[in-house]
């Protein structure tokens, strides 16, 4: 009888030890499985499939901070293209200026008002003059907020008998705002100033 009790006790110890080993071994396995599952789900959620012209294209989501310099440079380029791309049509001018003013603060509005007061836009319309701009480069300082920038560009001014090329240098700061249809990059330009705008060369047409 006593021997049977010893056998039962020994068997119970074996079962308990085996159970502890199984449970101890299962915990890291469960943790690893959960970790890999989370990685897989996060990877799957970062993928976006786009249907374009009957073809399925795969895109990847990314944090905004990964693309911040790219978005900031494009915001500056877009503003300058709207503000300085002008044709001899009052509606075109007003449309472009309105788009530009969504991307900047009152400093851009002041520059627009000054140009309008000097008859700059009236001269474009009456003289059938077209203004186009090419952005050469945008330098950013992302180490301090608001982000300082300098924009280097070349203007092409086409008149009936001549074409003039002008250098353009501006600077300002970028502040974060809410993203919208009118401001897709979620920046606003503030303290915008024109540092240089002078003739480079002219040629007859």
Cβ-based burial of 104 (10 A; exposed 0-12, middle 13-18, buried ≥19): buried
**What pLDDT shows up at residue 63?**
55
CB atoms within 10 A of CB 131: 20
Q: Which of these, 42, 180, 188, 37, lies nearest to 103 by C-alpha position?
A: 188
Q: How far is CA 31 from CA 9, 37, 200, in A?
A: 33, 10, 67
Are 194 and 168 in contact by the 8 Å Cβ rule? The answer is: yes
pLDDT average per 10 residues of sequence, the chain (205 residues) = 57 69 73 73 58 58 70 95 94 94 95 94 92 95 94 94 94 94 93 93 84
**What pLDDT shows up at residue 2?**
47
**What pLDDT shows up at residue 115?**
92
Distance of CA 151 to the CA centre of its chain: 16
């Amino acid at each position: 009888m006593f021997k049977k009790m010893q056998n039962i006790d020994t068997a119970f110890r074996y079962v308990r030890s085996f159970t502890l080993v199984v449970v101890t071994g299962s915990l890291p396995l469960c943790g690893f499985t959960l970790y890999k599952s989370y990685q897989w789900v996060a990877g799957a959620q970062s993928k976006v499939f786009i249907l374009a012209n009957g073809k399925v294209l795969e895109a990847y989501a990314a944090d905004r901070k990964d693309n911040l310099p790219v978005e900031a440079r494009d915001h500056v380029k877009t503003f300058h293209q709207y503000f300085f791309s002008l044709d001899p049509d009052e509606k075109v001018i007003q449309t472009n200026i309105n788009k530009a003013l969504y991307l900047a603060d009152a400093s851009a509005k002041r520059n627009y008002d000054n140009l309008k007061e000097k008859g700059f836009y009236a001269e474009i319309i009456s003289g059938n003059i077209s203004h186009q701009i090419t952005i050469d480069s945008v330098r950013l300082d992302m180490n301090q907020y608001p982000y300082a920038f300098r924009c280097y560009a070349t203007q092409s001014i086409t008149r009936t008998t001549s074409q003039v090329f002008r250098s353009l240098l501006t600077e300002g700061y970028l502040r974060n705002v809410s993203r919208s249809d009118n401001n897709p990059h979620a920046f606003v330009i503030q303290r915008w100033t024109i540092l240089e705008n002078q003739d480079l060369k002219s040629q007859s047409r």
